[in-house]
Amino acid sequence: MKRILHKQEIEDIIKGATLLGAGGGGSPRVALPIAEEIREATLVEPEDVSDDSNVVVVAGVGSPAVSLKVGWRGETIPAFERFEEVIGKKIDYIVPFETGGTNSVRPIHAGAVKGLPVIDGDGAGRAVPELEMTMFCIHGIPIAPLSLADSKGNSVVLYPTDAYMAEKLARAVTTIFGGTAGLVCQIMTGKQLKEAVIPGTLSVAERVGKAIREARESMRDPVEAVTKATDGVVLARGKVTKKTEEVRAGFDYGRVFVEDIIVDYKNENMIAWRKDKPIVMVPDLICWLTADGEPLTNADVKEGLEVAVIGKRAHEKWGTPEGFKVFAHILESIGYKGGYVPF
């Protein structure tokens, strides 16, 4: 089924995707100005894509804190145009890389500008810090070629041998570009898309964003509305008593303290602890919502804010050993060397 997205639907997607980005994927303060440039966009379900269609992944990459500081600079479109130049194939559809405030709306913006439909789905069903952490990579879809661009006319095309090298190269280029870049990669057929994609993620984000908006309009508890809309669980509600953060190699690393919960993140929330025991970890989601219903990224979290920490199971496609394995090295760097503990 095909449908047209207008301003309200896109704004609801941004709010819902910010929450479901699990601390990453871009702040709504960056995403909402992007939405202002979109008159309308076409959304299609994965099953409606023919097997021989060409689909490409569109996203932004870099430090969420830097992105919040510099704002929307339109880097996705030159990255897309450079990709078009080198690929030598007609592109039929755009698919988001992940779920997140800006990384759900950037593909919608690119689709509107280029007149291409956007797939209702993405590679992760949440936001992730590194390029290899998607179902597209887990299903073996080659990541090369990969194009990156900044807002000043600089662009590169990379031909990495695998997604791990793509991550290293893309992160280095993004750092040179000032900390953020537009990204286009991973051309695939419609058949490959349907095998790998996590379906319905933009519709899910829209539903969650709508639930938040309607709860606020009717003066109901937005936290309760979100847990109902997501099948999530409130891990803690209270004030952010402490937050630490540093930007290293193009990533935001930090730790947030709320009540008796500690959350460690690398761009996205990686693991939540209670009394030195892990209670939620990737690929499952640890999400932020203010007491009055504003979804937050880690770049938006500040000491003194009243927030709810919400846990949510990841999409069932993540329920494989490989689904945890791609995150294990990050958890080890944080200090967790055990196996996956399901939420």
> pLDDT tens, 265-303?
999 999 999 999 999 999 999 999 999 999 999 999 999
Nearest to 121 by CA among 51, 214, 194: 194
pLDDT of residue 316: 97
pLDDT of residue 1: 84
In the predicted structure, residue 249 carries a pLDDT above the cut 80 = no
Q: Specify the amino acid at residue 292.
A: D
pLDDT of residue 49: 98
Instruction: Count CB neighbours of 4 within 10 A.
Output: 9
In the predicted structure, residue 68 carries a pLDDT above the cut 90 = no
Split at pLDDT 50, 70, 90, the class of 42 is very high
pLDDT of residue 65: 81
Do 186 and 102 form a contact (C-beta atoms < 8 A)? no
pLDDT of residue 334: 87
C-alpha to C-alpha distance for 105 and 183, rounded to whole angstroms = 13
Its CATH class, for the domain covering 2-199, is alpha beta
Do 135 and 129 form a contact (C-beta atoms < 8 A)? no
Residue 14 tokens, joined:
């941004």
- Residue 299, strand partner residues: none
Positive or negative torsion for Cα 204, 209, 210, 212? positive
pLDDT of residue 250: 74
pLDDT of residue 160: 98
pLDDT of residue 90: 94
Q: What are φ and ψ of residue 310, in 5° steps?
A: -115, 130
